[in-house]
């Protein structure tokens, strides 16, 4: 009997294809992701079924289009009328768990039943808020919206007023390795 392969599914939020070094980005330094990409499988011609976070995540979990899984808006919109419609559809974490895999979720969820490890089939669940706490515990005052996204989106004027920005190098261990650029 052959051993089941290890699966590491990374999904970044609102990241363009050309913002990774492994995809030819001339400015962004993404060495940790580039190393993973060099030895794994990359999807270079993938498209989202919808330009909204929650329905797109629902499609990734279920393999269904939003009109088939029922999550047609982001969480909290329309008095949450769509929030629970996805819950009767099988999702890949549940299937992997049933197949004997250890399954974990780290990061943003933005779907119903966040943190419900039993329902979704996860052994461990580490929400996005824990990442900010890991940084605070290490004495690092960092907010991705203020310190990374805005300077990159708004250009040099904001970068000079912010004083610095960070390059993030994701690591499985505690938090991130953060390098200050002058």
**Token pair for residue 28?**
């962004």
**Token pair for residue 178?**
């953060």
Contacts of residue 12, Cβ cutoff 8 Å, sequence gap at least 6: none
- Residue 168 CA, distance from chain mean position: 14
| Catalytic choice (53, 126, 132, 165) | 53
Q: Is 110 a catalytic residue?
A: yes
Q: Is 126 a catalytic residue?
A: no
3-state secondary structure at position 167: strand
- Of the candidates 52, 94, 92, 60, the one whose C-alpha atom is nearest the C-alpha of residue 76 is 52
> For 99-148, where are the alpha helices, taking DSSP H only?
117-120, 128-137, 144
3-state secondary structure at position 136: helix
H or E segment to which residue 61 belongs:
helix 53-62
How crowded is residue 160: how many other Cβ atoms within 10 Å of its Cβ? 10
Residues with active-site annotation = 53, 110
């Amino acid at each position: 009997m052959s051993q089941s392969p290890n699966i590491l599914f990374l999904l970044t939020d609102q990241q363009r294809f050309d913002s990774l070094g492994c995809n030819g980005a001339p400015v962004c330094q993404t060495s940790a992701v580039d190393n993973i990409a060099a030895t794994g499988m990359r999807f270079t011609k993938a498209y989202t079924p919808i330009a909204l976070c929650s329905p797109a995540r629902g499609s990734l979990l279920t393999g269904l289009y939003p009109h088939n899984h029922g999550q047609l808006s982001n969480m909290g919109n329309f008095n949450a009328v769509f929030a629970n419609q996805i819950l009767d559809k099988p999702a890949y974490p549940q299937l992997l768990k049933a197949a004997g895999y250890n399954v974990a979720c780290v990061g943003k969820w933005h779907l119903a039943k966040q943190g419900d490890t039993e329902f979704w089939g996860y052994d461990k669940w580490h929400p996005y808020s824990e990442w900010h706490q890991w940084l605070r515990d290490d004495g690092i005052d960092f907010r991705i919206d203020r310190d990374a996204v805005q300077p990159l989106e708004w250009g040099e004027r904001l970068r000079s007023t912010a004083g610095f920005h960070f390059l993030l190098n994701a690591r499985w261990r505690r938090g991130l390795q953060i390098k200050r650029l002058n």
